[in-house]
Structure 1
Amino acid sequence: MSGISLSILALGFSLGFVHAMDADHVMAVSALSNRHRDNGKKRGIAANLALTLRHCSHWALGHGAVLLLSAGVVFGLGLSLPASLGHFAELAVGVVLVVIGGSLLWQLRRERVVVLRHKHQHEHGELEHVHLVKSSTVDDACPNSSNSTKHSAMPAAKAHTPVMVGALHGLAGSAPALALVPLINDMALLSALLYVLVFSCSVLLGMVVFGLGLGSVQSYLAQRHSNLFDLFRQALGAATVVFGAVWFVQAL
């Protein structure tokens, strides 16, 4: 490997790590990792941290897959990506951020009040009662009760959402341009793909580092300061909606 090639790979690694910390990436991953009921409150610290890292890594995998595909199209087939595609992706990023933030706020609203059904034995027979209670008290107060909003596993659609959002970010005009700029000088296909692979691995590393920090903070707040944790999630949802709206307007 020549000195020039090593320099390009080092540049790609540095750019990838910094690129992972872009504001739209951070906002999307943070909101996605907080869209689950009682996130962290009834999990251990390790489980909550693993959930955040899973969202971060899945986002990075989707992002990297699209960049590798873009590199194959540009340098393998000699085609160019249409500018309209990047512009559409930029607009879509804004819309997706608004949707993610809005769904987080809706999820928090559902968490605050849930329907609790339980039965009592009375003199004239068994009667079923329905109460509206705060969701964080359901499992502790009535462990055998029926809660219509409770679920134990992440739905498949939600599990795949970080990958799809990461792929959308990969399509956005800034990401392919940032990854492929050093490859203009007639670089061989394998070298181009190697550069993009290094760039994408660095994005994954950056997201893992960010996920460790975010997951640690969330785990601490969830276990020690639940009210502050709820406030953090509400502020994050609102900020994501506002950021996505501003992003969309600027991309017009």
Structure 2
Amino acid sequence: MMSFHWLYDPVETLDAWLASGLSGAGLLVVLALAALLGLRHATDPDHLVAVTALVGGERDAGPRDAARLGASWGIGHAAVLLAVGIPLLLADAALPAWLESAAERVIGIAIILLALRMLWRWQHRPATGAHTTRSAHQSALIGALHGLGGTGAIVLLLATKLPSTTDAILALAIFAPTSILSMTVCTAVYGRVLTHRHTQRAIPALAVFSLAFGAWYAT
């Protein structure tokens, strides 16, 4: 099976560089770096593929509708980060590896289903406005799954880099909402690009890519 690890190398390098500034930094610097990490977080390949599959088939949705999907994704993601991450930091505990692994498998399956849905919607244009609420709920759920799958790594990073639990919680409290902002902006851009009539011709190729990525991610 094709590997997509190469997609993660640039973002992991950037994250490592930003995280290196957390150790020994003052609180204001820590919060600024946490905000930058949150803004960057939306560009994780699995996040991009999932949201692309959500938006790609919505031929009657513009940037505003796409941004709404991104905000829903971000809210679901941030809610899980805070609901799970803060207790883990307070307890100085780690998320069970089996739970993270299970969440990642479910995310992979969800991406596959979204890719199939993208193909179907590309071929069968829905009635205007018929999909928006349902898609927003789906987006929030997928964001929550991504939050569960990534919470362990984020909590571990903050717990090991920062000197106190209070600092780590404050950093997480900044990271979460900035990730909502970045995903909202990203999906607004997707809404402008992917719903363009010329870009619609690339939807089948994007769907095939998403299917391959989802299968890899699930395993």
- Give the TM-score taking structure 1 as reference length: 0.69
Q: Does 2:53 match 1:31?
A: yes
Cα 1:89–1:66 change in 2 (3 A) is same
Aligned residue number for residue 4 of structure 1: 26
Question: SS of the residue aligned with 2:131?
Answer: coil
Q: Structure 1 residue 179: deviation in Å?
A: 4.9
Q: Partners of 1:68 and 1:215 in 2: how far apart?
A: 28
User: How many pairs align?
Assistant: 195
Amino acid at match of 2:35: F
Higher helix share: 2
Aligned residue number for residue 40 of structure 2: 18
- Give the TM-score taking structure 2 as reference length: 0.78
Aligned residue number for residue 90 of structure 2: 76
- The within-5 A match list for 1:78-117 is 78-111=92-125
Q: Structure 1 regions of 5+ residues with no counterpart?
A: 41-47, 112-148
Aligned residue number for residue 240 of structure 1: 210
Higher strand share: 1
Answer whether contact 1:98 1:245 (CA < 8 A) is retained. yes
Identity level (%): 29
Q: Which aligned segments of 4 or more residues in structure 1 are displaced greater than 6 angstroms?
A: none
Aligned residue number for residue 133 of structure 1: none
Q: Structure 2 regions of 5+ residues with no counterpart?
A: 1-23
Answer whether contact 1:179 1:199 (CA < 8 A) is retained. no
Answer whether contact 1:64 1:197 (CA < 8 A) is retained. no
Match of 1:198 among 161, 165, 174: 174
Answer whether contact 1:29 1:56 (CA < 8 A) is retained. yes
Q: Which moved more, 1:232-241 or 1:195-204?
A: 232-241
Q: Partners of 1:214 and 1:150 in 2: how far apart?
A: 20
Cα 1:204–1:152 change in 2 (3 A) is closer
Larger Rg: 1
Q: Structure 1 residue 74: deviation in Å?
A: 0.8
